[in-house]
A and B are shown apart, each in its own frame.
Chain A
Amino acid sequence: MRSSNARPTRRFTGKSNYPARTAKATLLVLVGLSQLPSSIHAQEGVAGSVKRGGVIRYGHFQEPACLFGGWVQQWYLQRQYSDNLVARSEDGKIVPWLAESWTISDDKKIYTFEIKPNVKFTDGTSLDAQAIADNINGWLSNDPDLRNPTAAPYLSDSFESASAIAPLRLQVTLKVPFQPLLNVFAQSSQGILSPSALKRGLAVNCENPVGSGPFIVDKWRHGREVTFRRNPDYNSAPATAKHQGPAYVDGITWKFLPDQTVRYGSLITGETDAIYDIPAVAWKDANSRFPVLRHLTGGTPLRLALYTARPPFDDVLVRKAFAYSTDRRAAVDTSFLGSLPFEGNGALSQSSPEYLPELGHSYGYDVRKANQLLDQAGWTERNRNGVRVKNGNPLIVRISYSNAFLKPDGEQALQVIQQQAREAGFDVRLQPTNPADFFAGKNLGPDDYEVVLLYWVAPGAEIFRISWKPDQNGETNRFNPSRYQDLTLWDVIQKAEQELNGVQRTALYQQAERKIVDEAPVIGLTVLDVTLATKPNLKDVWLDRGSVGEPVFYDAHFDDGK
């Protein structure tokens, strides 16, 4: 349920309230244009074969209200100025960052980290075990200034305390074993911030957060850009980086360009060196003209969550019938123009290590099967509009969605689904909701929807905890819009979380994955991706694999040769 493309735009009603279709039409014009001469950058110095200097002009999508926080738009920024305790490599392994090494106790409850020496935050504060412990304890507190909305749902059940047992030795104690702990620590939203800077309060920290990362927040010109300058003393690069020491470039000008015509156009005219989120309509053109980076985000795919606590979707047969009645592959292909693939596995995104490819083709389009299942479930009659009826109630499916969680092209996919499901006798009604109302809970109440479109970005199957934790002790799991309660499933998930053996843990998570797909409380639609197009002379930009695919400019450098 974590929005990577909200807004205003949404972010685009609300955050960018101007019609995406116009943008699409004009982008078609852009696509045909020839590339103009690229701008000149100040180049200075040579470090081995890598040139130093220059400022990267990066065109991003949305501007957050604060430079750190739980929204992925904030993670992108935080990745530039803060370091994490550990990093996650492309193959999903946890590798050192601020922690040089760590040990786990036999009962799997005590993690002891050896912290890299001589690291300082950019305000001069020492980055030691106590500083990291203060950060972690703040994430799990109820103090709205310190609470971390990403870390808290993962760790609140298992976390006991974090403390410095020596200046450079950090101990994290858990109440129960929780293997995904390190994955959680590797996400950019868990970047470590200077505790002395945090005491200045949210107003100052939102504007000028202080980390120990390769870049320092220089100035935030609201509505335009954030400028970062190189941290000249940087000595704490992660093991995933391609070099150590300070960044090669002098800084980054992080421009906020919510309009996709402007964003892609600025790359064509050479006004930016890299842009985020290549529009679907320009996808082919961008691939033929620029180096393109792409990361399919882990965690959940973009999926349809079916409300299982009342009819009609309390019956698994009807849930499956709905899945079979829609050609979601065609809907995705038509709407996203090949820029995003269909994903039939509703449980897990295909970039998660525990992903089962055979589930990616689940519930292919089969109207005959959908009709059989509905007949079997007792929805045998049809009214004069062709909508199935049971006990006098028509088979109405209201789909709630907001463009805070859906790219503009996604709405077309829902319209296609709406038409397709009619043949099997579903009366699908779309409930578009503007982001503000959606966050306020409009169309999300217990009686307000049968389907809701949401997702949550995470490294992998640890997302199951967030999605499928049953309601307990009178506390509702707010992140389970399906309201699907399955204690057997929860038991398997908890076993996986407590299993440190990789093979066995993966097997347990895949058991849960199969069960989720089989019970169909969620139906897959497509994946979420992070795309980046760069100018050919900007080298070694990469996407972080720790959380959402944040662009990393630390290793980047300009190459005069092209």
Chain B
Amino acid sequence: MMGSDAVRIVVHHPIVWFARRIFSGVVVVWAAATFAFLIQCVLPGDRAQIIINVTSGNVGPASSAELAAINAKYGFDQPLAVQYGKYMLQILHGDLGESYQQHRPVAAIIAEQIGPTIVLAIAALLIAWLIAILTTLFIAGRDNIWSKLLNDAQVFLATVPPYWLATILLVLFAVKLGIFPVIGGNSPIGLVLPTLALALELSGFFGQVVQNEFTRVLEQPFVTSARARGMSDFGVRLRHVLRHAALPGITLSGWALGKLLSGAILIEVVFARQGLGGVLVAATSSRDVPIVSGAVLISAGLFVLVSLIVDLTYRVVDPRIKLT
């Protein structure tokens, strides 16, 4: 019994938990890297051919001399196993390769662009949460015209495609009313419309999820007890109910951040904003595989990190949850 308890304690020790998460994270990143490598090998079309055609803006088969030069330059003429080995070795050395079209290191290209994308995604996540919480505090468990209207607005926003919303916001607030610039660049004011375009959809989604849980928790005995202690309705909602109702929302945040990163790609293109969006769209169209692979790898790393943070946040919000 003593031994089994000791094992259980060791297994539940935060360091062991952490090591296990790191190991599984590495496996996820390795799988993503391998997947990215395999994808470029199985996609139809000769890689050297695509590089030549995209560079020259032509279609049709290139001459064998041109193909040979490109194959030699990028090592496409070597066996796949050798290419894979070199690719993995590169990654272990922190080298994500060189872009076929930009001829620059992929790590530098992504590092240069990922900042504005992360800022946009996080800003949108925070604003989405803010809108969702405020509307939920206001409408959950209430049956009046305003709560119905807000509820319907949430459903509408949750179903609106962000790129459509982006164009409407742009025409209305930038071109027509002139409140925001059309070309926002990286300025804080330029962040407002792209953030709203992304956040409004998510806020509707969050709002619906949190509202269901919120309404359920409002009917729990401890809420009645809190009210009986003379707490105001808003105080009960804010201090007791929200804490319980937020849990499913936190679970969703990890998923939402991934969704926001991919959503940001389209939004960045619409607003001509610097970020991974433009680079990834261009890289996908020109099949600049090293950039796409690099982005897949970085995204996998980010997901691992975010899910770790979400798990840790659970523990803060609900101390009953153990790290397993």
CB within 8 Å of B: which residues of A?
1-3, 6-11, 14-19, 22-23, 26, 29-30, 33, 36, 59, 63, 65-66, 69-72, 142-144, 147, 149-150, 201-203, 206-207, 221-224, 255-259, 261-262, 265-266, 268-269, 271-272, 404, 434-442, 444, 454, 475-476, 478-479, 481
Contact of B50 among A3, A69, A207, A439 (CB under 8 A): A439
Q: Is the CB of B171 within 8 A of A65?
A: no
Which of B1-9, B18-26, B66-74, B244-252 contacts the other chain?
Answer: B66-74
A65 and B282 form a contact (CB under 8 A): yes
Contact mask B86-100 → A, CB, 8 Å, 1/0? 000000000000110
Whether the Cβ atoms of A269 and B50 lie closer than 8 Å is no
Contact (Cβ within 8 A) B98 A203: yes
Q: Which residue of B has the minimal Cβ distance to A203?
A: B103
B144 at interface, CB cutoff 8 A: no
Q: Please tell me if the beta carbons of B60 and A479 are within 8 angstroms of each other in the complex.
A: yes
- Output the residue of B101, B269, B277 with the most chain A CB within 10 A: B269
Does chain A have a CB within 8 A of B308? no
Judging by beta carbons under 8 Å apart, are A440 and B45 in contact?
A: yes
Q: Mark B218-242, 1 if CB is under 8 A from A, else 0.
A: 0000000000000000000000000
Tell me the bound Cα distance from A63 to B62 in angstroms: 24
On whether the beta carbons of B281 and A17 are closer than 8 Å, the reply is: yes
- How many residues of B are counted as interface, with CB atoms below 8 angstroms from the partner's CB atoms? 66
Q: A73: nearest residue on chain B (CB-CB)?
A: B57
B137: chain A residues within 8 A (beta carbon): none
Residue B307 at the chain A interface, CB threshold 8 Å = no
Kindly identify, within residues 244 to 289 of chain B, every residue whose CB is under 8 Å from any CB belonging to chain A.
Answer: 266, 268-275, 277-279, 281-282, 284-288
Tell me the complex Cα distance, A444–B53, Å: 13
Which chain A residues border B185 with CB–CB below 8 Å?
224
Is B46 interfacial (CB 8 A cutoff)? yes
B102 contacts A by Cβ under 8 Å = yes
Q: Is the CB of B171 within 8 A of A434?
A: no
Minimal beta-carbon separation of B260 from chain A (angstroms): 17
Residues on the B chain within 8 Å of A142, using CB:
65-66, 69
**Bound state CA distance, A454 and B164, in angstroms?**
31
Cα–Cα, bound, A257→B271 (Å):
8
Residues of B contacting A10 in the complex (Cβ-Cβ under 8 angstroms):
281, 285
Query: Residues of A contacting B62 with CB < 8 Å?
Result: 478
Q: How far is the CA of A10 from the CA of B279 in the complex (A)?
A: 12
Chain B residues with CB under 8 Å of A223's CB are: 113, 268, 273-275, 277-279
B44 CB–A CB distance under 8 Å: yes
Selecting from B127-135, B176-184, B201-209, the interface stretch reads: B176-184
How far is B46's CA from A169's CA once the two chains are assembled, in angstroms?
Answer: 43
The 7 sampled A-B contact pairs (Cβ below 8 Å) are: A1-B60, A18-B163, A63-B278, A63-B282, A71-B54, A261-B167, A404-B285
**In the bound complex, what is the Cα–Cα distance between A9 and B266 (angstroms)?**
12
Q: Does B55 make an interface contact (CB < 8 A)?
A: yes
Give the contacts of B110-125 with A (CB-CB under 8 A): 112-113
Question: Which of A65, A143, A206 gathers most chain B CB within 10 Å?
Answer: A65
Q: Is the CB of B266 within 8 A of A18?
A: yes
- With A261-B167, A441-B61 known as contacts, the answer to whether A66 contacts B103 (CB < 8 A) is yes
**B175: chain A residues within 8 A (beta carbon):** 29-30, 33, 261, 265, 268-269
Q: Which of A144, A222, A442 contacts B279 (CB 8 A)?
A: A222
CB pair A269 B174 closer than 8 Å: yes
Q: Chain B residue with minimal CB distance to A206?
A: B103
Complex Cα–Cα for A248 and B201 (A): 48
Q: Which residue of chain B has the shortest Cβ distance to A443 in the bound complex?
A: B59
Q: Provide the residues of chain A in CB contact with B73, threshold 8 Å.
A: 144
A26 and B168 form a contact (CB under 8 A): yes
| Residues on B with beta carbons closer than 8 Å to the beta carbon of A201 | 103
Residue from A14, A435, A440 in contact with B46 in the complex, judged by beta carbons closer than 8 Å: A440
**CB-defined interface of B28-50 with A at 8 Å, one 1/0 digit per residue?**
00000000000000011110011
CB closest residue in chain B, given A257: B272
| Complex alpha-carbon distance, A19 and B287, angstroms | 21
Look across to chain B and name the residue whose beta carbon is closest to the beta carbon of A28. Answer: B171
Would B269 and A203 count as touching, CB distance under 8 A? no
Chain A hits for B101, CB < 8 A: 65-66
Q: Does B109 contact A (CB under 8 A)?
A: yes
Given the known A-B contacts A8-B285, A202-B103, A435-B286, are A259 and B57 also in contact in the complex, defined by CB atoms under 8 Å?
no
Q: Which residues of B contact A1 (CB under 8 A)?
A: 57-60
CA distance in complex: A272, B183 (Å):
9
Q: Is the CB of A265 within 8 A of B272?
A: no
Please indicate the chain A residues that have their CB under 8 angstroms from the CB of B61 in the complex: 441, 476, 478
- State whether A439 touches B53 (Cβ < 8 A): yes
Asked if residues A440 and B49 are in contact (CB atoms below 8 Å), the reply is: yes
Is A203 within 8 A of B183, CB to CB? no
Known: A65-B101, A69-B55. A261 touches B183 (CB 8 A): no
Q: In the complex, what's the smallest C-beta–C-beta distance from B186 to chain A, in angstroms?
A: 8
Could you say which residues of chain A place their CB within 8 Å of the CB of B285? Answer: 6-11, 14-15, 404, 434-436
* B-side contacts of A261, CB under 8 Å: 167, 170-171, 175, 270
Q: Report the separation of the CA atoms of residues A344 and B11 in the bound assembly, to the nearest whole angstrom.
A: 78
Are B50 and A440 in contact, with the CB atoms below 8 A?
yes
Q: Which of B62, B275, B286 has most chain A Cβ within 10 Å? A: B286
Query: With A223-B275, A440-B45 as given contacts, are A266 and B70 in contact (CB-CB < 8 Å)?
Result: no
> If the complex has contacts A22-B167, A202-B103, A256-B272, are A262 and B55 also in contact, measured as CB distance less than 8 A?
no
CA of A144 to CA of B100 in the docked complex: distance in angstroms?
11
Residues of A with C-beta under 8 A to B275: 223
What's the minimum C-beta distance from B190 to chain A, rounded to whole angstroms?
11
If A8-B285, A206-B102, A440-B49 touch, whether A149 touches B171 (CB-CB below 8 Å) is no
* Residues of B contacting A256 in the complex (Cβ-Cβ under 8 angstroms): 272, 278
CB distance from B18 to the nearest CB of A (A): 36
Contact B174 A444 (CB under 8 A): no
In the bound complex, residues from chain A placing their C-beta under 8 Å from that of B170 are 26, 261-262, 265
Q: Measured between C-beta atoms, what is the minimum distance from A16 to chain B in Å?
A: 5
Per CB-CB distance, the 3 closest pairs between chain A and chain B, nearest first, are A440-B45, A149-B56, A478-B60
User: Chain B residues with Cβ under 8 A from A272's Cβ?
Assistant: 183
Provide the bound-state CA to CA distance between A203 and B109, in Å. 12
Is B58 a contact of A479 with CB atoms below 8 Å? yes
CB 8 Å contact bits of B183-221 with A (1 = contact, 0 = none) = 101100000000000000000000000000000000000
Residues of the A chain whose Cβ atoms lie less than 8 Å from the Cβ of B266: 17-18
Q: How far is the CB of B160 from chain A (nearest CB, A)?
A: 12
Q: Shortest distance in angstroms between B203's beta carbon and chain A's nearest beta carbon? A: 22
- Besides A8-B282, A15-B281, A272-B183, 16 other A-B contacts (C-beta < 8 A): A6-B57, A9-B285, A18-B163, A19-B163, A59-B183, A70-B56, A201-B103, A223-B277, A223-B279, A224-B272, A255-B272, A261-B167, A266-B182, A269-B174, A439-B286, A478-B61
CB distance from A118 to the nearest CB of B (A): 33
Alpha-carbon distance A224/B113, docked complex (angstroms): 10
B104 an interface residue at 8 Å Cβ cutoff?
A: yes
Q: Would you call B50 and A436 a contact (CB within 8 A)?
A: yes
Interface pair A444/B104, CB less than 8 Å apart: no
List of A residues within 8 angstroms of B65 by Cβ = 142
B57, A65: Cβ atoms closer than 8 Å: no
Residue numbers in B under 8 Å from A441 (CB-CB): 44-46, 49, 59-61
| Contact A454 to B59, CB < 8 A, known contacts A29-B171, A222-B274, A265-B170 | yes
**Contacting pair A206 B282 (CB below 8 A):** no
Q: In the assembly, what is the distance between CA of A17 and CA of B163, in Å?
A: 10
B164 proximity list for chain A (CB < 8 A): 22
For the complex formed, measure the closest distance between the CB of A317 and the CB atoms of chain B, giving whole angstroms.
27
Check A222/B113 contact, CB under 8 A, given A436-B287, A478-B60, A479-B60. yes
Question: Inside 8 A of B183's CB, which chain A residues have their CB?
Answer: 59, 255, 257, 262, 266, 271-272
Residues of A within 8 A of B99 (CB): 65
Task: With both chains docked as a complex, state the minimum distance between the C-beta of A490 and any C-beta of chain B, in angstroms.
Answer: 18
| Contacting residues, chain B, for A435 (C-beta < 8 A) | 285-286
